[in-house]
Amino acid sequence: MKNSLPPLSPNYATQKNRAYKEGVEVHGKWPVEFQFRPAQGDHRHLLVVFSSVGSKYGFGNALESVKCNILRIRDHFDGGASYYVARNMDFSVTESIQALIADYMRRLRVTRDEVTLLGASKGGSAALYYGLKYDYKNIVASTPQYFLGSYSKGHGQLGDAVLGEGQSDENVAIMDAVMKDVLEKDTDLKRNIYVVSSPGDYQYEQEVKHCLPALREYENFNFLFVESPTVRRHDEVVRQALPSILSIVYSLTEGAAPRWGEVRIGADPEDPEVAAEYLAELRKRDTALATLNRAEFADGHLQLKGHAFLPGESADGPTAETKQLVLEKNGETWAYPLETTKEIRLYRDYFDEYFCEYATGGFASQGDLTFTELPQGTYDVSVCVTSKDEGIARRTRLISQNAVDRRQACGDSELLFRGGKGGLKVVKRSIVGVDSGGVCFSAEKVAVRDRKIQAEGVFFLPGRNADRDAHAAYYLVLQGRAGCHSFPLSVQKNPDAVRPHKQPGDLGNYDSGYFSTGADGIDVSDIPAGKYSLLVSMSVGGALFTKKAGRVTLKNTR
């Protein structure tokens, strides 16, 4: 029965998506790249964000809780940066950027007093520059540069992009005068300006302090001087000061301008004797740290990188530590030496009451982690850290803050490296798994020519989506009297081949449930001559399924 119904309309809920939407608009000479995220609820203010060197859009995910409209502008013009001021000494970039901001103000129906400019480093300079030049009331600038030309010169690609080829001294002088000129020309001192810096950042002396005399003339100028032993580099200032920066942004974007004046934020300076005593006591505790940052199988080896050290510090100062990867099963252990690596920010990541640098707190595998000597089984993974000078040797479980699942064929076995926050395990099991009737399998092509095997086909587990490359690992297995040999297969998306194998009513997506050796096939020249069963194994979740794809005879090549 047909009813007289209106056609489907777009769903209003789907149209109110607050995710950032990227765009490019041409205003004047230059296309301007940007992201825009609309406000949540009645928060009409516009926050304009400028990025620092090396970042595409400023402040990353740190602004997620800000409710107002956010416009993040990328510093990318004709393939290079401009400092948001000049591209190859062409200052018309500023007109295009300002036109984009003004256009969004018009769309959102906000005034200049309802706009806040935010940036760090290069973005901080831009926030100051646009705020003063184009008459915006609210400016938040962390670690801005003052001498834009001198800072650009020799600074990677920034120099040529801003100053032009050759980076002439004349152009450096012109750019160095930009911030000074805009400060001198501004006559409206009724602005809310917030500048953040730190004595731990060399750019305070080099850049920031030169703009302070002029900025102190403004009616509501605020200077936040961040004191923390964890601020030792330029980019660490905004990280340490982020709670304060966000509190200012929250207030400004809600129409309230804090008046902090010039304040120092952070804890009181550390007492060296108290700090040394605390760190020495921490060193004596029965504890060690071992966290994994990266794990990859490559060229038959497991490559690992992470952090491992003994917390605290000896009363005699830093001592050398050696590290071992330990695999344990049923009371037996296998130990593998790890390389000690230098790290530059562990003092921030593992700060505990007092500063401790942990400059050599990293580790890396040494390239020999093949585990060919291991019997098949499941092994708990730990790291042993030893300080020979202190007579300390401690072992702790290796953990990862993110889920880890790496798999690789290894002769007659499959190696798995899996785990997460609760610990990591190495599993070595037979590469030949269960021949189950519950999987869908079809060998679409099997051919042997000139000691190369080509094979491809359908292989998936109904009920477990195979909608992406990483859904499973596939292996080609040759099993015969001369041994068992395995090779990795690639995953392909092939819906035309896969979908006919789905059962009626199955709503799963298995489009990538297709294995292949690739057009070139797999070279088996090193495999002994003989007759072999050709098998295909699929490793998925905790299971391993194996199906027969035929038989092959490898002839002696001599």
Q: What is the mean pLDDT of residues 309-334?
A: 95
pLDDT of 2 higher than 80: no
- At 55-91, the pLDDT tens digits run 899 999 999 999 999 999 999 999 999 999 999 999 9
Architecture field, domain 432-554: Sandwich (2.60)
Element at 178 (helix H, strand E): helix 178-185
- At 258-290, the pLDDT tens digits run 999 999 998 888 899 999 999 999 999 999 999
Beta carbons of 140 and 252 less than 8 angstroms apart: yes
Task: Estimate to the nearest angstrom the gap between the alpha carbon of 32 and the chain centroid.
Answer: 25
Q: Which amino acid is at 114?
A: E
The Cα 150–Cα 163 span in angstroms is 10
The Cα 279–Cα 318 span in angstroms is 11
Closest C-alpha to 135, from 120, 115, 153: 115
Q: What is the mean pLDDT of residues 386-406?
A: 97
**What is the per-residue pLDDT for 418?**
97
Q: What percent of the chain has pLDDT over 70?
A: 99
Quote the mean pLDDT of the chain. Answer: 94
**What is the per-residue pLDDT for 254?**
95
The Cα 321–Cα 428 span in angstroms is 30
- At 36-55, the pLDDT tens digits run 999 998 999 999 999 999 88
Q: What is the mean pLDDT of residues 230-258?
A: 95
Q: What is the mean pLDDT of residues 326-334?
A: 96
CATH 3.40.50.1820: which residues of the chain? 22-266
CATH 2.60.40: which residues of the chain? 275-428, 432-554
Closest C-alpha to 375, from 327, 428, 330: 428
Architecture field, domain 275-428: Sandwich (2.60)
pLDDT of 204 higher than 80: yes
Closest C-alpha to 229, from 333, 345, 117, 321: 345
**What is the per-residue pLDDT for 1?**
57
- At 234-245, the pLDDT tens digits run 999 999 999 999
**What is the per-residue pLDDT for 300?**
81
Q: If one looks up domain 22-266 in CATH, what number appears?
A: 3.40.50.1820
Q: What percent of the chain has pLDDT over 90?
A: 90
**What is the per-residue pLDDT for 558?**
60
Q: Look up the pTM and report it.
A: 0.86
- At 442-464, the pLDDT tens digits run 999 999 988 899 999 999 999 99
**What is the per-residue pLDDT for 366?**
86
Closest C-alpha to 499, from 483, 513, 515, 484: 513
**What is the per-residue pLDDT for 557?**
67
**What is the per-residue pLDDT for 239?**
93
**What is the per-residue pLDDT for 4?**
86
b/e 103-116 (16+ beta carbons within 10 angstroms → b):
ebbeebebeeebbb
- At 184-196, the pLDDT tens digits run 999 999 999 999 9
- At 96-138, the pLDDT tens digits run 999 999 999 999 999 999 999 999 999 999 999 999 999 999 9
